[in-house]
Amino acid sequence: MSAAEELLAASSLEVVRDGPRLILRFIGDWTTGELAKHDPALRSLDSQGAQQAVLDLTHCGTVDSAGAWVLDRTAGDLKERGLVVEVAGAAPAVETLMGTVAARRVKCPPAPKADNPLVAVAVRLGRETLRISREAADLLSFLGLTVTVMARTLARPWRIRLTPLISQMEQTGFNALPIVGLISFLVGVVLAYQGADQLAQFGAQIFTVNLVAVGILREMGILLTSIIVAGRSGSAFTAQIGTMKVNEEIDAMRTLGLDPMEVLVMPRVIALVLVLPLLTFYADIMGLLGGAVMATIVLDITFFQFARQLADAVTVETLAVGIIKAPFFAFIIGMIGCYEGLQVTRSAESVGQQTTRAVVEAIFLVIVLDALLSIFFSVIGF
Amino acid sequence: MTDATGMPPPDNGGQTNGQGAGNPGTNGAGDAGRAEVPPILTITGLRTQFGTSVIHDNLDFSVQPGEVMGVVGGSGTGKSVLIRTIIGLNKPTAGRIAVFGRDLASLSAAETTAMQSRWGVLFQDGALFSSLTVAQNIEVPMKEHSDLPPELRQELIDVKVSMVGLPPDAAHKYPAELSGGMRKRAGLARALALDADILFLDEPTAGLDPIGAANFDILIGDLQRALGLTVVMVTHDLDSLYAICDRVSVLVDKRVKVGTIEELMHEPDPWIQEYFGGPRGRAAAGSAERSGTAPQSAG
């Protein structure tokens, strides 16, 4: 009994030449895990000039469909080489399984070949160019739509949905306070430290205050806040609206006579336009605070001296130059977030794609607009 | 990973059943021999709890090798949870689950992997990996759990693809390009990639049109007979129950009641009465009778 068990423990293949007959003895379990060691041997089987072949399955244990396929393929191969093939001693179940597998011998077509890499690059370049120009056009018409709906809403302010507006202001503004504050503070610290290092070479450490003040108030405050808000809220808009799109909620809204532009887009865009200037002001203060703290520690400039130098360095206009950009940036971030959300198709995958796209586009456009405004302000001497 | 698929089954109820070999009696669901064969899957005293809500309480359940077990129950009675618990996606709060006679909780990580390659799971919408083609999806378990040479893998993919009734050109399509029914077939092919002994199906016919659902029933029945599979399927589809299930377990009061449909009809439980005796249940019973219960015809 133990010998038989040992026999069944693993599979083996015996090839015996018996006169004109070639005997293939399949011993043990012919299951998926066992096949790797026999497959090459069976593929390159030497028929040794025999006219008949016998597949002896008497000592065969368990056979699964992969095993049955290999048995059946071997029989087929031998037949093709002109041998008379006989399968002996197969259990009925094995025979049925071989029959089932043989009946399913349909070859799948080979995988389609990839294009020539050069062609692929050209194709992709063209496709992306088309996509970007189409998207730019779509975005432009969405801009028009948003402005129209906004004008209509502002003309009848009692139609503004107050609850979602306040809730959006909380989510995009109030909840962003910690992260915006922390980052601005740290950037203030960095600016002061680097500035002090360089300006010390001229003995002009005190101008570190000017550097920090102008840098934070004109550019860094608004730019950092916009980028954080684009990452936080722009992406959230796309994900929220996109998920609603996947669930067909947007379609349901339309059938109930609600305009998604009014119900979803307006509260978000208006909330962001209202909140971003406030956030920017807060970021400015935190940035100056960071600079002041650093100046006290490294430069021995007291808070009082810092404040006096600050009053000399900047005017209210400097602060205004930064904050005046905020509503425009907010409008861009909110609009792109909502637009990309509405572009989501009915798959969960596209929510992720559009969210990425929304953040990248929003940050890109914010920086482009910032550059344009900088030129504009310097031309008008502001 | 050498023992992943070639795991020697020491105290294994599936040994006699194996992959259909040596058990020609698989076809008739083994009415006569059922009592003697040790069950392939045993659950004793299972308790599943999410927070304070108890889904299963002191649930006992067993499946015989080679049978098709349907699992039914009202919404929220934990049908899918039961399957997820058996295949280890959900940790039971208490109780013992033994598959092939081995307690799942006592297995080492390597043994768990080996066990996982012996069952196949078809999730509701196929759960195909969306970044891979159908052929690549089927290849995943083969690559991961066996050392088959690439050539043989390719041949086996061909066999599986046609076995589940997919057209050959579907092999290189992505899941998003397939219809719901085809996705389920592809998912089934992946579940069968390593010749699982047990197949778990989660609502295999949900979302299919009646013709597609009937064809899928026939396919599962055919494969079950040809490969000697043990099948556990969660379903709402009364037609499926009549067409292919040998026994049915009904989840009521956090436990299961198991029996053939006729036996269950005599259960006094109101939900079971409503389920099988309701208009849909009667209609399914009628159509099953007209078509001779099991779809033997399709090859």
Identify whether the C-beta of residue A25 lies closer than 8 Å to the C-beta of residue A13.
yes
pLDDT at B9: 42
Residue B203: left (phi > 0), alpha (psi -120 to 50), or beta? left
Beta bridge partners of B120: B199
Q: Residue B176: list chain A partners with CB under 8 A.
A: 347
pLDDT level of residue A101 (50, 70, 90 thresholds): confident
Helix (H, G, I), strand (E, B) or coil at A16: strand
pLDDT at A17: 78
Residue B14 pLDDT more than 60? Answer: no
Average pLDDT over residues A131-144: 93
Q: Residue A9: list chain B partners with CB under 8 A.
A: 8
Chain B nearest C-alpha distance from A111 (Å): 6
Q: Which amino acid is at B269?
A: D
- Cα separation, B42 vs B232, in Å, equals 12
Q: Any idea which of A138-147, A314-323, B77-86 has the lowest mean pLDDT?
A: B77-86
Identify which has the larger pLDDT, A278 or B289. A278
Q: Which member of A62, A105, A108 has the closest CB to residue B21?
A: A62
Q: Which member of A35, A67, A108 has the closest CB to residue B158?
A: A108
A2-103 topology per CATH: Transcription Regulator spoIIAA (3.30.750)
Please state the domain extents for chain A. 2-103, 145-379
Identify whether the C-beta of residue B182 lies closer than 8 Å to the C-beta of residue B207.
no
Q: Residue B162: list chain A partners with CB under 8 A.
A: 104-106
Q: Any idea which of A63-77, A331-345, B4-18, B260-274 has the lowest mean pLDDT?
A: B4-18
Across the interface, do A34 and B6 touch by the CB < 8 Å criterion?
A: yes
Across the interface, do B152 and A70 touch by the CB < 8 Å criterion?
A: yes
Helix (H, G, I), strand (E, B) or coil at A30: strand
Whether the CB of B296 is below 8 Å from some CB of chain A: the reply is no
Identify which has the larger pLDDT, A278 or B279. A278
Chain B nearest C-alpha distance from A5 (Å): 11
Across the interface, do A32 and B155 touch by the CB < 8 Å criterion?
A: no
Q: Residue A100: list chain B partners with CB under 8 A.
A: 163, 226-227
Average pLDDT over residues B15-19: 39
pLDDT at A363: 96
Identify whether the C-beta of residue A58 lies closer than 8 Å to the C-beta of residue B15.
no
Chain B nearest C-alpha distance from A102 (Å): 9
- Interfacial residues of A (vs B; Cβ cutoff 8 Å): 9-10, 29, 31-36, 39-40, 43, 60-67, 69-70, 73, 91-94, 96-97, 100-101, 103-109, 111-112, 347, 349
Show the beta-strand stretches assigned E in chain B. 41-50, 53-63, 68-73, 94-99, 102-103, 119-122, 198-202, 230-234, 247-252, 255-259
Residue of A8, A43, A64, A73 to mutate when probing chain B, most B C-beta within 10 A: A64
Angle at B72 between CA B68 and CA B78, to 5 degrees: 115
Which domains does chain B show, CATH number per domain?
14-118+196-290 (3.40.50.300)
Residue A278 pLDDT more than 60? Answer: yes
For A347, nearest residue in chain B (alpha carbons):
B176
* Chain B from 39 to 78: CB within 8 A of any A CB: none
Whether the CB of B217 is below 8 Å from some CB of chain A: the reply is no
ipTM of the complex: 0.70
Across the interface, do B176 and A347 touch by the CB < 8 Å criterion?
A: yes
pLDDT tens-place string over residues B35-89: 567 888 888 888 888 888 888 888 888 888 888 888 888 887 888 888 888 888 8
pLDDT tens-place string over residues B202-228: 888 887 788 888 888 888 888 888 778
